[in-house]
Amino acid sequence: MATPTHGPSTPPVPVPVQINRPPNANPDTFWVSVSKNEEVVWHCMQNHQHGNGKCFTIEFPGESPFAGHIFHDHGVRSGLPVVPPDDHKLYKYNVTIPGEPPLDPQGGVKG
């Protein structure tokens, strides 16, 4: 007998955020939708070999809308939101790129 599975049956839909040098995040404010099964995917747009701490670190210093608070390097995925949707609440996060001043973009979770 097959064991039933719970949760979404479709893979998460990526919401891309580009991290560029000079430091900026595009878009500066991301929105992910719970009903659309979305997650953030941060992409390093620097012209270098990606990985091993060379790209960036994402950190939600306070409350995070995701299970994790810290994410590293090109192509990292946030996972699905773990907070209830709120079209008016934004979560600040920091982007640290080696040798650059930190960025402080934000993101939110909608229904």
Q: Which CATH number does the domain housing residue 26 bear? A: 2.60.40
Q: How many domains does the chain have?
A: 1
Percent of the chain topping pLDDT 90: 77
Cβ–Cβ under 8 Å, residues 107 and 91: yes
User: Do the Cβ atoms of 48 and 109 come closer than 8 Å?
Assistant: no
- By residue range, what is the domain housing residue 91? 13-110
pLDDT of residue 8: 53
pLDDT over 80 (residue 12): yes
At 107, phi and psi to the nearest 5? -155, 165
CB atoms within 10 A of CB 46: 16
Mean per-residue pLDDT for 34-47? 95
Q: Is residue 68 part of a domain?
A: yes
Q: What mean pLDDT is predicted for residues 40-67? A: 92
Residue 69 lies in a domain: yes
* Burial classification of residue 3, based on how many CB atoms lie within 10 Å of its CB (0-12 exposed, 13-18 middle, 19 or more buried): exposed
Residue 65, domain member (yes or no): yes
Q: Supply the pLDDT for residue 50.
A: 84
Give me the chain's average pLDDT, please: 91
Q: Which of the pair, 99 or 69, is modelled with greater confidence?
A: 69
- Across the range 31-45, mean pLDDT stands at 97
Does residue 8 form part of some domain?
no
Domain assignment present for 19: yes
> If you average pLDDT over residues 49-71, what whole number do you get?
92
What is d(CA 64, CA 60) in angstroms, rounded to the nearest whole number?
5
User: Is 2 a residue whose pLDDT tops 60?
Assistant: no
* Per-residue pLDDT, 54: 84
Q: Mean pLDDT over residues 42-57, rounded?
A: 88
45 lies in some domain = yes
Is residue 6 a part of any domain in this protein? no
Q: Is residue 7 part of a domain?
A: no
> How far is the first Cα of the chain from the last one, in angstroms, to the nearest whole number?
35
